Amino acid sequence: MIYSKIFVAEDLDSNNLGMVATLKKMGIATIEQSQFCDNALLKIKKAVIDFEPFEVLISDLCFNATHGKKNIRSGQELISEVKKIQPNIKVIVFSVEDKQSIIESLMEDQQIDAYVCKGLNGLKELENAIEALSKNKKYTCPVATASLQQKNILELDIYEQKLLELLAHGYKQSEISELFKKKLITPNSVRSIETSISKLKDSFNASTTPQLVYMASSLGLI
């Protein structure tokens, strides 16, 4: 069952519009939002007092600090305060931040339920996260998942980096094979290149080559 009442804490109007449109498309009946953490906490607290609590909080991590004095200045602080008054609320972080340490801290220390990175597929991944939560599952988008597996990513060698770059530029496996042969890069058979791509997909937890390229690009590897 998809949720019926969700709160969105996001300070950019453009992001708010996209999220609200996605949530409406999913059939969410009640969607409230705020661009300020303090105001978000007040609205969530009032909903609890009125016995009409929100089921899910979707929050960014960074908020504009130019709009007057604030008690709560970040998404991390907001999540902590919200959980004090409503411990069972589901929390999705929707952020441009993809650092391993930050994601780990939020997942382990603050017990958030999902982490989605903003970007090309951000809204679709947000939809996937909500569907996963509705089935009592935790969720991390492919970019966040790859970041959490950063040990594998840091072990990429020059060959793998070059292979990713060529894939990003639209080269087919047969074309990469010919190019590697001309430059005396080994292994250079089509089969070995296919195997290398398969291993990279496993490392990044990617199901397709375009997804692999997207994740590598999002993490600044190409």
| 56-104 pLDDT tens trace | 999 999 887 555 556 888 899 999 999 999 999 999 999 988 888 889 8
The Cα 75–Cα 36 span in angstroms is: 10
Query: Tens digit of pLDDT for each residue in 109-159?
Result: 889 999 999 988 899 999 999 999 999 999 999 888 888 876 555 567 889
pLDDT of residue 155: 61
pTM over 0.85: no
Partners of 117 in the β-ladder: 95
The Cα 71–Cα 22 span in angstroms is: 30
| 207, pLDDT greater than 80 | yes
Partners of 5 in the β-ladder: 30
Average pLDDT for 8-26: 86
Residue type, 72: I
Token pair belonging to 19: 């999220």
| 1, pLDDT greater than 70 | no
pLDDT of residue 120: 80
**Long-range interactions of 41-46: CB distance < 8 A, separation 24+:** 41/72, 41/78, 41/81, 41/82, 43/7, 44/7, 44/82, 44/85, 44/86, 44/89, 45/85
The Cα 5–Cα 64 span in angstroms is: 25
